[in-house]
A and B are shown apart, each in its own frame.
Chain A
Amino acid sequence: MSATTAPLPRSPAAPLDVASIRRDFPILGSRVNGRPLVYLDNAATAQRPLVVIDAVRRSMAEENANIHRGVHYLSERATLEYDAVREEARAFLNAPASHEVIFVRGTTEGINLVAQSYGRSTLKPGDEILLTTMEHHSNIVPWQIVAGQTGAVVRAIPITDAGEVDLDAYRKLLGPRTRIVGVVHISNALGTINPVAEMTRLAHDAGAVVVVDGAQAAPHMPVDVQALGCDFYACSGHKMFGPTGVGLLWGRTALLESMPPWQGGGDMIHTVSFAGTTFAPLPAKFEAGTPAIAEVIGLGAAIRYIRSVGFEAIGAWEHELLVRATEAVRAVPGIRLVGTAREKAGVLSFTLEGVHPHDLGTILDADGVAIRAGHHCAQPVMDRFGVHATARASFAFYNTFDEIDVLVRGLHRAREVFA
């Protein structure tokens, strides 16, 4: 998926009926500031289709009970529904086993779990954690915290002017002290799709494990953790058209089994006494306390929805949106695109000369257009490109060419206001 090449041909077998898809998302029919909503902030959170909203509602209205505890009807129903999602998530990530899929609050919690359980129990003073310069703060700060606790060192892998990982520099950084490599699958600030499989192979040659932040990738491209070869993969439900408060952490069985529990409490134990406690097997070992039951069930509905649309059609349409938006936005005088990688997802980060991104965000909002303005929780990226903030339009498969036109008209309007 490149922003500079011609659009990929749409698969004639699976064309995307965008108008019909939009009707699946109640919020897309709403108006903002008197204008039809143009939602281009999908990298922050995606909207939810009715099937997800209904699944959460049904769980709460008809099947609410705690799981793995009761012997009564409702608990049995809730437990069945909840556990079934784990298998759906396994298939979605093409993980080898469903017990390798841990339900967490989101990508951030997934990475914190790996840092505090795997990292804290294995890292020694002087050990190195390599992170790309384009990581989201949630794949930087957990490692800085565990580095502070263990004496390990965090080092940044440089990126190029196009916003791609500098693979030569990465190879040089890898060494006998490298224990962990953290890489974002798709950058939320730049849209870059990183060569995770290749980076993983290089990391494994150096004896390091690879932790992938999949928050932006999981909703937009097929994820196959076995093909990637990575060791941990985390993603968030709310970016996958599912509820907030739920996400997935996948990890290899051998690693997860070797790791100490992260949080203690209900559901993660085998037996408890004051003489000592034994822990439950995977995945329960990492799921202390009552989980986000309705949200997990909602995430299951989201995964089924994504699969019903199909990544082939999603990828083709989102690529067309990216190509169209890139051309149209680039043509506006004073635009500087930030992130021009050859392999790019539907994220368009840019600055407009003379207009601060926050002012641009407010002006576009008056036209009903929702974009993100700021540092995108990726301040090292902003520093790398010498900007304080960017404006970011991020697409999903329900967006249209007409919406891109509204965005571009807003950019011209902003230029006029600040002329």
Chain B
Amino acid sequence: MSRDLDDLYQSVILDHNKTPRNFHELPPPASHADGHNPLCGDRLTVWVDLEGDTVKDVAFLGNGCAISKASASMMTAAVKGKSRAEAMALADEFQKLVTGKLEGAAERKALGKLQALAGVSEYPVRVKCASLAWHTLKAAIAGAAEPVSTE
């Protein structure tokens, strides 16, 4: 085992955990979705305000570990201003990042600051923590009515 805690709990992650960005509700007409990780009880809600095809604003609230909170916080910063399709594609790329399936350096680089969460791929049981916010974002964009679950 060569896992290093410092790779997982990088300072940027600890910072987002302590001071999460966009940590509030959005008023209607923003749509929202609830995410739930039933295994650990983590819950969060993601709001998305779409203007045409553009993610004009995005925010979240919830309870969870540092990984899930930081992931949600960094996600809101990453998808703001993106088109709907770009946000969805980024969610897929992010999933590859945290499951260790991202191929080349170029793909990694395209994820920008989100790369800080790459360390999660060394901790299989923590992948769900990182992906909960992104699953929930996709549901919010799709206008899903049912809560999404990582199970």
Please list the residues of chain A having a beta carbon within 8 angstroms of any beta carbon in chain B.
32-34, 355-359, 362-363, 366, 373-375, 379, 382, 388-389, 417-418
Tell me the bound Cα distance from A130 to B13 in angstroms.
45
Contacts of B63 in A (CB 8 A): 388
Shortest C-beta distance, A374 to chain B (Å), equals 5
Shortest distance from the beta carbon of B13 to any chain A beta carbon, whole Å: 10
* Contact between chains at A359 and B40 (CB < 8 Å): no
Contacts of B42 on A, CB cut-off 8 Å? 388
Q: Are A388 and B14 closer than 8 Å at their CB atoms?
A: no
A34 and B41: CB pair below 8 A? Answer: no
User: At the interface, is chain B mostly helix, strand, loop or mixed?
Assistant: mixed
The number of chain B residues with a CB under 8 A from chain A is: 22
Is B126 positioned at the interface, with any CB of A under 8 Å from its CB? yes
Tell whether, in the assembled complex, residue A362 and residue B126 are in contact, meaning their CB atoms are under 8 Å apart: yes
A384 CB to nearest chain B CB (Å): 14
CB-based nearest A residue for B43: A388
CB distance from B127 to the nearest CB of A (A): 12
Q: How far apart are A205's CB and chain B's nearest CB, in angstroms?
A: 38
Q: Residue A356 contacts which of B3, B39, B66, B123 (CB distance < 8 angstroms)?
A: B66
Q: Is the CB of B41 within 8 A of A359?
A: no
Contact A33 B3 (CB under 8 A): yes
Supposing A389-B41, A417-B14 touch, asked if A356 and B65 sit within 8 A by C-beta, the answer is: yes
Residue from A34, A358, A374, A375 having most chain B Cβ neighbours under 10 A: A358
CA distance A231 to B65 in the complex (A): 42
Cβ A366 vs Cβ B3 within 8 A: yes
Tell me the nearest residue of chain B to A419, going by C-beta.
Answer: B14
How long is the Cα–Cα vector from A405 to B46 in the complex, in angstroms? 41
B39 touching A418, Cβ below 8 Å: no
**Shortest beta-carbon distance from B11 to chain A in Å:** 10
Determine which of A359, A374, A389 lies in contact with B66 in the assembled complex, contact meaning CB atoms within 8 Å.
A359
Majority secondary structure, A binding face: mixed
Return 14 A-B CB contacts under 8 Å, by A number. A32-B1, A356-B65, A356-B69, A358-B40, A358-B129, A359-B66, A362-B5, A362-B123, A373-B40, A375-B40, A379-B41, A388-B41, A388-B43, A418-B17
Please report B residues at the A interface, Cβ cutoff 8 Å: 1, 3, 5, 8-9, 14, 17-18, 39-43, 63-67, 69, 123, 126, 129
Bound: A373/B129 CA distance, A: 13
Interchain CB contact under 8 A, A358 and B65: yes
Whether the pair A417, B9 counts as a contact (CB closer than 8 A) is: yes
Complex Cα gap A32–B1 (Å):
8
CA distance A389 to B9 in the complex (A): 20
A373 contact set on B, CB distance < 8 A: 40
Tell me whether A34 and B1 are in contact (CB under 8 A). Answer: yes
Contact B14 A418 (CB under 8 A): yes
Closest A residue to B41 using CB positions: A375
Best-surrounded residue of B1, B65, B67, B123 (most CB of chain A within 10 A): B65
Residue in A355, A362, A382 whose beta carbon sits within 8 Å of that of B8 in the complex: A362
Task: Identify which of A32, A355, A366, A382 contacts B41 (C-beta below 8 A).
Answer: A382
List chain A residues, Cβ under 8 A from B14.
Answer: 417-418
**Cβ contacts under 8 Å, B17 to chain A:** 418
Q: 6 closest A-B pairs (Cβ-Cβ)?
A: A356-B65, A358-B65, A375-B41, A359-B66, A33-B1, A366-B5
Assembly CA distance A389 to B64 (angstroms): 9
Contact A374 B41 (CB under 8 A): yes
**Chain A residues within 8 Å of B67, by CB:** 358-359
